[in-house]
Structure 1
Amino acid sequence: MTAPSPEADPEPAHETAGGSAPVGGPEQPALRRRRRRRVWVVGGVVGLLAATVTVLTLVFQFGLPWWSGPGDHDHVHVAADGTRQRYQVHLPPQHDGGTALPVMMAIHGCGMTGYGWNSMKGSTQFDALADRAGFIVVYPTQRMFADRINCWNSDDPRNQVRGSGEAALLAGVARDVVERYGADPERVHVSGASSGAGTAVILGATYPDVFATVTSVAGGEYGLNQVDPDDPDATPPSVTGRQAWAQMGEQARAVPLLIVQGGSDDVVPTVVGQRLVEHWRTVVDLVVDDALDGSPELVPDTIVHPATGDRYEYAQTTYRDPDGQVLIEYVYADDLAHAWSTPGAVGIFTDTAGPDATEIAWQFAQLHDDR
């Protein structure tokens, strides 16, 4: 018999250079602490970035506290379904709680806010005019993340009907202001820029009983999303005009419309503004007798305002019915780009050399104080 071989000695454990624990063994306390610190640092950086983004988003949307001035009040309209719509109201010195003042709602465009950064408030300078003329201004601001560049979604059919979407929210805001501040419900006007102009036109079609007049600056017709930019003639403005009239329903009336269009606008080309004139002529025609028969005849009259100093030349065309009432006004400046124009305007999409859209919008509203 052979003797049993002795058991082989186990291989020596591998050690680290510093004589630390074997590979696969428990970590050193110092290593664990370093890893925990790394997790804390990464978590802190992520948290700081998230907080910074949140703060910047809030500043973009709502501004900083010291941006508000005398007479400014922030509110939230809550719809029946719980949807919240933020807005700011500017009260002029003439507001005494007893006098029913008129209202101008001003709706911002894409890349803008109502009263935060690059705001409709700064772009239009309505507050200064309101303080002189004695009317209330309302600045709704698009809900955060409702659109990736803060547009109003006027091209979405869900927002083009009464009792639904953004149109219902903004009509609710207007009613809130009338009730809260004792404003005159017969003199609530709406103006808008770009996508906000499209929304203003929608409000004229869906809530003609709420809004006395509509002003569109660099905007388009109701149902513009149906129009192919490469072949606009395939969808005549009479088609979308008939749809706008149908939306009015039992509240149908010839809502006066002011259009401001720039000839150098590369976002909303001139043809869009021209279509809006014909579109609204269709609405007026159908409101009168439910037929597209050219009645009432709207007689155009054009005044050309020559260039003065650093101000552009512009043409102002009014369309009057047989009673002399201005139902459509078209202001065109060849040198005006995609901008709201008024002296002292502050914002990216502004121009101080074009026709004073703020003053013209208010003058237009005053023509229709007795609807």
Structure 2
Amino acid sequence: MIDTAMSKRMEEATRLTCAGKLHEAMALLQGGAPEEWREKTPDNAYRGGNTFDGTWQVSDKKDTVTKPASEALSPDIGHTRQTNTGTFTTGSFSNRVGRRDYKLYIPSGYHGQALPLVVMLHGCTQNPDDFAAGTEMNRLAEEQLCCVLYPAQPMTANNSKCWNWFKAEDQQREGGEPEILAGMTRQIIDNYELDTTRVYVAGLSAGAAMATTLAMTYPDLFAAVGVHSGLPHGVAKSLPEALGTMQGGTGPLGGGNKTKGAAWASDVPAIIFHGDRDTTVHPSNADRVAAQYSTSRQAGATVEKGKVANGHGYTCTTYHNAKGEPHLELWQVHGAGHAWSGGSTKGSYTDPKGPDATKEMLRFFLQHRQAVA
């Protein structure tokens, strides 16, 4: 997910990459926009909601929670903001790898029972408040009694607040951002005594790529994954490779293909959304992501076509596992670009004309539970 300045950086980085100037391309992307671009394109261009870079606007401080220093929840967890329904709580998690802030939605129906948890990973330039507003996951979580965790990626970790899905150190279990996100998830589960068999992760764009990384590296933690306008796991180890993948990659994964990422596979149930007019992350990446969940495709597929009233048409292909259970859904949204399908204009990068990705993901998630050993 990229704003106008990021688009210009990508275009120039692509030109430099094609010219063989990889160091210049990487320096451009890592260093942010040149000064002449910054005056023309403010940091918050084409974005909805407020911007938070590690601090949150909160009120009503409650008692703090003490946790071990190795994986500590910041005292900021005591800061809450009461909504019209549930509560949006702000906190911070840290472990040996690093620290990230987050926001947590707690539905009004929560009274200590073991509820499901949905982890939502925002796209580049976004933040938890923006992503929550655009996807409206909190509204549905209130209706269906789920907690929702929104980790925040700061500019100190990535200049455009992208999750670093394209870095080798952030693609492995027990290391990098996956370890931070898994540790944060486990801490929230423990702190609120949530249902360990109903933990799910979803994301948009760079967040979707990181969601797939979590499904690949922590299949024991997540019972299902939602990938919206995302990319396959392990196909890029650098920014130039990330650009190539976003533009369409080198071909499909799986089926004996020896391209990068082909060795990765996951049995985690997955629901994938992608607009077929996406010019930021090429639509072919939807099939490439699905290929990494190919172990789910064992008992044939069913295809459903439909159209949203006064909106986009769509094709939903459902694959079944060996037991005949729905295990993988691939939604192609016809005419949609790089935006959350069916989302609210209160947030950035949303397309209200598409089928409701939030509703469909939550439906899909709650059909699946983590197998208990």
Q: TM-score, normalised by structure 1?
A: 0.73
| Deviation (angstroms), 1:113 | 1.1
Q: Aligned equivalents of 1:122 and 1:149: distance in 2?
A: 19
Q: Deviations over 1:68-112 (max 9, x none)?
A: 44311111111035x211111100112101x10000000001111
Name the CA distance, whole Å, in 1 between partners of 2:95 and 2:227.
26
How far apart, CA to CA, are the structure 2 residues paired with 1:299 and 1:212?
Answer: 22
1:274 aligns with one of 287, 302, 313: 287
Structure whose alpha-carbon radius of gyration is higher:
1
CA–CA distance in structure 2, aligned partners of residues 68 and 62 of structure 1: 14
Question: Please, which runs of 5 or more residues in structure 2 have no aligned partner?
Answer: 1-42, 44-49, 60-79
Alpha-carbon distance change, 177 to 331 in structure 1, aligned in 2, over 3 angstroms: same
The question of whether the paired residues in 2 share the 8 Å contact of 1:319 and 1:329 is answered with: yes
The AA in structure 2 aligned to 1:143 is P
- Per-residue CA deviation, residues 165-191 of structure 1 (Å, 9 max, x unaligned), is 100000011101101111001111000
What does the per-residue CA deviation read over 1:308-338, in whole Å, with 9 as the maximum and x for residues that have no partner?
A: 1x22111111000231122211001111110
Question: Matched residues in 2 for 1:142 and 1:367: separation?
Answer: 29
Alignment of 1:84-103 (within 5 A): 84-97=99-112, 99-103=113-117
1:131 has 2:145 as partner: no
Structure 2 counterpart of 1:120, from 131, 152, 160:
131
1:241 positional shift: 5.0
Say whether residues 1:148 and 2:141 are aligned partners.
Answer: no
Deviation at 1:219, TM superposition (A): 0.2
Q: Could you tell me how far 1:145 is from its partner in structure 2?
A: 1.6
- Equivalent positions of 1:95-244 (< 5 A) are 95-97=110-112, 99-115=113-129, 119-225=130-236, 228-229=244-245, 232-233=249-250, 236-237=253-254, 238-239=257-258, 240-244=260-264
1:261 Cα shift?
0.5
Give 1:338's aligned residue. Answer: 338
| 1:153 and 1:159 in contact (8 A); partners too | yes
Match of 2:264, SS state, is helix
Partner of 2:93 in structure 1? 77
Distance 2:252 2:143 in 1: 43
Q: CA 1:298/1:156 → structure 2, altered by over 3 Å: closer, same or farther?
A: farther
Give the whole-Å Cα distance in 2 for the aligned partners of 1:121 and 1:346.
9
Paired position in structure 2 for 1:317: 317
User: How many percent identity over aligned positions?
Assistant: 27
SS of structure 2 residue aligned to 1:74: strand
Q: Which amino acid aligns with 2:125?
A: G
The verdict on how the C-alpha distance between 1:144 and 1:257 changes in structure 2, with shifts beyond 3 A counting, is same
Query: Contact (CA 8 Å) 2:119, 2:200: kept in 1 or not?
Result: yes
Distance of 1:235 and 1:368 partners within structure 2? 27
Contact 2:81–2:88 (Cα < 8 Å) also in 1: yes
AA matched with 1:93: S
| Change in 2 beyond 3 A, CA 1:242/1:269 | closer
* 2:57 aligned partner: 64
Measure, in 1, the Cα distance between the counterparts of 2:193 and 2:156.
32
Q: Give the Å deviation of 1:60.
A: 5.4
Residues 270 and 329 in structure 2, CA contact (< 8 A), matched pair in contact too: yes
**Residues 38-49 of structure 1: pairs in structure 2 closer than 5 A:** none
Q: Which residue of 2 aligns with 1:7?
A: none
CA gap of 1:321–1:241, structure 2 versus 1, over 3 A, is: farther
Offset at 1:242? Answer: 4.4
CA apart distance, 1:348: 2.3
Alpha-carbon separation, structure 2, partners of 1:147 and 1:232: 23
Gaps of 5+ in 1: 1-52, 246-252, 286-295
Q: 1:58 to 1:311 in 2, by over 3 A?
A: closer
Between Structure 1 and Structure 2, the one with more helix by share is 1
Taking structure 2 as the reference length, what is the TM-score of the superposition?
Answer: 0.73
Q: Tell me how far 1:233 sits from its aligned partner.
A: 3.6
Q: How many residues align?
A: 291
RMSD (Å) for aligned C-alpha atoms: 2.4
